[in-house]
Structure 1
């Protein structure tokens, strides 16, 4: 199990626990919309660091973004496994082909 899988498992284990004892439980208790908002904030911060060009800050913000993505998924009862299954489904298919199949 890699760090991302361990993080996803930890987030899942925090669902329904006391929000006063866990930051993750606190986020989840605020509902999917708040979790999505936090993910968006972190994604924007990662974009800003990508533009600025500071590799250490970008790595830090990318880690925050991944955490908040997993929390957002958990808030909607989805998992890292669900996302990985979708990536596997798309594997070997060009991005152009994938977008065309979705009508985009």
Structure 2
């Protein structure tokens, strides 16, 4: 099992077996809006860190991945589903005009 898989499984366990004083349990208790807020905050911190320092970038990326995993668990998305989607993209070519932009949403 990889480290990301272990972290995901620990988060899943915390969702199913809340533990008092656990930050992960706290996020699940507060719900989707809190989790989404944290994902957004961490994504912004990754962008800032990328402009500043590699050590900071590594740390903030780890924070973002953790919060993304919390979001995936909350929404019932498995790492296998993410792996399947990523695998389907390997070697796939798309034209730039086929890609959605923020204005498309």
TM-score (norm 2): 0.84
Shift of 1:55: 0.7
Equivalent-residue separation in structure 2 for 1:76 and 1:34 (angstroms): 13
TM-score (norm 1): 0.85
Deviation track 1:74-98 (CA, whole Å, cap 9, x = no partner) reads 111112222111111222202x359
Provide the residue aligned with 2:4 in structure 1: 4
Q: Structure 1 segments of 4 or more deviating over 3 A?
A: none
Shift of 1:46: 0.8
Give the CA RMSD over aligned residues: 1.8
Query: Please, which runs of 5 or more residues in structure 2 have no aligned partner?
Result: 101-105
Higher relative contact order (CA 8 A, sep 6+): 2
Provide the residue aligned with 1:51 in structure 2: 51
